[in-house]
Structure 1
């Protein structure tokens, strides 16, 4: 300021540096019309492993684009990716789009946990893998998986393993009224029926530890162990047995192997969600009192579902099966086969 009279200065002599945020942010986002479509096969702490739609054998590691914010991206999601999609080591692409999901398999840690965990997206069917012996079948777990399927838009399939140790007849009879497809397998034989059921479809497998799920996956995908190792090295080192992984089937389609679970919480599912999956009860359920759990007397004395059996709209067996699922969701004891949890 030396040599200048400060009294002769005015605001025109001051250069004001614009601060942050003075320029309005545009709400327009890039369309990314050139994005490659891919399937998310593994999620590992801020990195997503994706298989390109036009070349499923090419594995690309990607990060979530900034414009997606905290948009959840899970195994089974169909996404758009840009950047380096060569799949070469040490390359990284960006996920810029997450397509609408056709189905979602959700669970919570328990029935009091408000936080939903998405197990897999866009699976067409869920194979509920249950051993007929060693360990014994847990019908409560099966029932809860069925509820999750009905609520999430997946087709349930019973996959009964270890038929060389016990007969499946009693367990199959228990679910006959629900018309759930069932496949029975043995440890000492490959199952052509199972391979045909999975061919060309996206299927998820869920089951307790020790029921033979890993044995099934290794038979369906001969290089499953190799693929798992490759994905582990691409990610940040986490062993993939603790998370879901989508594996390509030799004859087309994908199988999503999920980690063994101890419980299948359904805090996010309401009784009405379950009833809506049974078309013959849907209309009459609307006549039930508000807050009805549809369990019938004495728990829900005003429930109208019994009238569907009286007028011939539904069979008594279907109603019994429906209420067994509702009771399982409510955490109530139900008579049945094997362990309930």
Structure 2
């Protein structure tokens, strides 16, 4: 009895229920199409974790949507909130969202944040930067680099807000259409519903497709996006892969091409929430880029990343998507920039917000919960 009590106390300390009702149990072994893996609770005690980035020493920075940044040690210990975080509007889907390291972080200690920020006229998607102190205890020099104008007075949804650096060192930032006015995604004078390509200081990147066009914002790389919450670099090709929510179906994974239009809200493979057609009511149209993959019914894909390490040889080069509804993990087998197979894993259990590869070759998942966790997938052998 004492041994069972000690086990129960250990599981409680990990923040996991010691019963069959728990959606993801500590050290659970799961069978997949390409072997078995173990689900371990790596860290607990987080509030709606949204974005994360691994430091060179293996520690992890994690954002919490209410507006906090925490440092997670390699043993899963979670720090107190770090001071110096940008101010956010934590309402609806807004708050402190993504975090990314500068490519030269090892020498500059520079971080980038995407968030919902207040501005004249309302709220918008904002890109900010700061420097992590040498002892990793605080942020210094926090400042705004870009506001995805115009601000919007109504609605607190669809901020997009993923950051990734391409192989050319340029920063790509996804912005949502902000929900209230779908047509913003097609307006080249508006930064909502786009993927932006920027220099490190937030200015338009050299070579952008709409630079110099009258009435168009030079920051825009692609347009016609609804709520793009995933950006990743394909390690096999260097291409930028974008992941976005549809409405009632029509979720997409897209291969980004400079200047391309991805259709929202002209066309969609889904329908609106009331079942009515979106835009033309068609799924495709001339001049609109086709998705690599789409889902109806929806899987609500949020963050996504490629697995590149050696811990799971059968998964190397696969694209993993964190799914919210139905909750779970989607594994896509890639052949270059083509999707050739799909597997759904840990399905129907816990809402996943982001998935990212660790420097140890393992896969880490942020759960979308007010008692949020970081789960780690480990080989079962």
Query: Normalising to structure 2: TM-score of the pair?
Result: 0.23
The structure number with the bigger radius of gyration is 1
Higher helix share: 1
Q: Higher relative contact order by CA 8 Å / sep ≥ 6: 1 or 2?
A: 1
